[in-house]
Chains A and B, each alone.
Chain A
Amino acid sequence: GESVGLHLPTLSVQEGDNSIINCAYSNSASDYFIWYKQESGKGPQFIIDIRSNMDKRQGQRVTVLLNKTVKHLSLQIAATQPGDSAVYFCAENIQGNTPLVFGKGTRLSVIA
């Protein structure tokens, strides 16, 4: 399949290690944030979301941290697996109803 994000920043991690992917968002008015995972030839897949009234949210093996002061979002993946290899995008919008604005993606490469 076609590669998504041929010239994106790349994060390489050893299998089993934790991964941290960072994102700076642009709009101070944004109050809803989503992380997506995109594999080659597929559409973005929802991972986890967070609202601006929270600064941390945990899912299965994933944690999202939100720092509104510096407009920064991070995605932490615990015990990274080869199946986690993909391009990761953060996205923002207002009240979950407006079109999403996507950040620059990061390619995660897991070394077995």
Chain B
Amino acid sequence: DTGVSQDPRHKITKRGQNVTFRCDPISEHNRLYWYRQTLGQGPEFLTYFQNEAQLEKSRLLSDRFSAERPKGSFSTLEIQRTEQGDSAMYLCASSAGQGGQPQHFGDGTRLSIL
């Protein structure tokens, strides 16, 4: 399968713990995006990279959230000191980065905070 891959698919943790998610984009895609989705809503943008450079962060991305894409390939999203409100589906998408190319999504990581 050469699509976007996310790991883990599900994460259950206690409030206050740190969690890290991984995204492997489609191999030739230089843009990588993170979104968050809660029940009944469409995905909301968090941050994105072109190669290893983080180009934009949403105001939704508090200082407890950090994302990296160190070699311009896979990316990690870390949430420190998790809170109940962090419970959501975290989606990763990638695109070729050229004008008018669609973003392709992975199946997400479902985070549940106890």
* Count, chain B residues at interface, CB 8 A: 32
Q: A99 at interface (Cβ–Cβ under 8 A)?
A: yes
The residues of A that contact B33 with a CB separation of less than 8 Å are: 99-100
> Knowing A41-B107, A97-B31 touch, does A102 contact B43 (C-beta < 8 A)?
yes
CB pair A99 B48 closer than 8 Å: yes
CB pair B105 A34 closer than 8 Å: no
Query: Can you list, as one digit per residue, whether each of A1-18 has a CB less than 8 Å from chain B (1) or not (0)?
Result: 011111110000000000
The residues of B that contact A8 with a CB separation of less than 8 Å are: 40
CB distance from B58 to the nearest CB of A (A): 8
Question: A interface vs B, CB < 8 Å?
Answer: 2-8, 32, 34, 36, 41-46, 49, 51, 89, 91, 95-97, 99-105
Question: B interface vs A, CB < 8 Å?
Answer: 4, 6, 31, 33, 35, 37, 39-45, 48, 56, 58, 91, 93, 95, 97-108, 110
